[in-house]
């Protein structure tokens, strides 16, 4: 599930920010070398926070997932600089509805990470919410119904989950 969300984010970013390299955060950041002439967006999973357990006889609880988008740019200012691309990155991901989630992505924070060897780095943290459901045999899973109302701009207007006994 987490990887499905990350792949959907990578696809969105690749489509909406074709001028940048878009990839997962490197497994060995100390060996990362920016080969792209303009810059890159590096996606990583930051953490999950879990809400209260729902009373259904098994573990069933909301899960808020946080993702970090690290922007690495060769230029700070100008139309192709870090500040302008950070604005585009924020607008691209804010409100995006990932698969199997109950809320679209919302923005948590962004921070300047620093400048090193001519590369400007910023981190944008976003979050979404889904459910953690304990593994159960199919025949005893609680039946749920989730109703989400979305407007023409793909923004969630109302969401509700109910358990059916």
What pLDDT score was predicted for residue 25?
93
Q: How far apart are CA 130 and CA 142, in angstroms?
A: 16
What pLDDT score was predicted for residue 43?
96
Q: Would the pTM count as exceeding 0.85?
A: no
Query: Which of 72, 78, 84 is CA-nearest to residue 32?
Result: 72
What pLDDT score was predicted for residue 26?
86
Q: Residue 102: is its pLDDT beyond 60?
A: yes
Confidence of residue 62 (pLDDT cuts 50, 70, 90): confident
Q: Write the pLDDT tens digit of every residue in 134-164.
A: 776 656 555 666 677 777 776 666 666 655 5
């Amino acid at each position: 599930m987490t990887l499905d969300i990350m792949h959907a984010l990578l696809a969105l970013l690749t489509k909406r920010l074709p001028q940048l390299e878009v990839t997962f955060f490197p497994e060995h950041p100390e060996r990362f070398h920016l080969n792209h002439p303009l810059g890159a967006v590096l996606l990583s999973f930051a953490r999950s926070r879990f809400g209260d357990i729902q009373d259904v006889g098994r573990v069933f609880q909301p899960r808020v997932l946080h993702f970090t988008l690290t922007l690495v740019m060769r230029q700070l200012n100008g139309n192709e600089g870090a500040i302008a691309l950070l604005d585009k990155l924020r607008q691209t991901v804010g409100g995006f509805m990932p698969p199997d989630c109950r809320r679209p992505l919302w923005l948590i924070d962004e921070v300047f990470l620093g400048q090193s060897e001519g590369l400007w780095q910023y981190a944008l943290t976003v979050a979404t919410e889904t459910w953690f459901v304990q593994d159960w045999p199919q025949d005893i899973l609680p039946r749920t119904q989730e109703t989400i109302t979305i407007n023409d701009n793909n923004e969630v207007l109302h969401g509700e989950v109910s358990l059916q006994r």
